[in-house]
Copies of this chain bind each other. A is one copy, B any other.
Amino acid sequence: MPSLAENLKAFQALKTDLFEKDFLLTWDHPEAEIRAIITLADTLKTLHKQGKSFRAFDTGLAISIFRDNSTRTRFSFASAANAMGLGLSDLDEQKSQVAHGETVRETANMISFLTEVIGIRDDMFLGEGHTYMKEVGDALTDGASQGVLHRRPSIVNLQCDVDHPTQSMADLAWLKAHFGSLEALRGKKLAMTWAYSPSYGKPLSVPQGIIGLMTRFGMDVRLAHPKGYDLIPEVVALAGKQAAASGGKFSVSNRMDEAFQGADIVYPKSWAPYHVMERRTQLLKKSDQPGLKELEKECLANNARHMDWECTRARMDTTAHKSALYMHCLPADITDVSCQAGEVSAEVFEQYRIPTYHEASYKPFVISALMFLTRLKDPGAKLEQIIQRAQNLSL
Contacts and interface: CB of A to CB of B under 8 A. Distances in A.
Nearest to A114: B79
Given A58-B53, A358-B148, A98 B71 contact: yes
B114 A339 contact: no
Nearest to A363: B113
B100 A75 contact: no
Contacts of A147: 358
Output the residue of A60, A63, A113 with the most chain B CB within 10 A.
Answer: A113
Contact of A339 (B75, B101, B148, B363): B101
Interface residues of A, number: 66
Interface stretch (A10-18, A104-112, A305-313): A104-112
A89 B75 contact: yes
Contacts of A70: 95-97
A78 B95 contact: no
A102 interface: yes
Given A48-B114, A148-B357, A88 B87 contact: yes
Interface stretch (A188-196, A282-290, A330-338): A330-338
Contacts of A76: 113
Contacts of A97: 69-71, 331
15 contacts: A48-B114, A59-B82, A60-B82, A71-B91, A71-B96, A71-B97, A78-B87, A79-B115, A82-B114, A88-B89, A97-B331, A102-B331, A106-B357, A110-B360, A148-B358
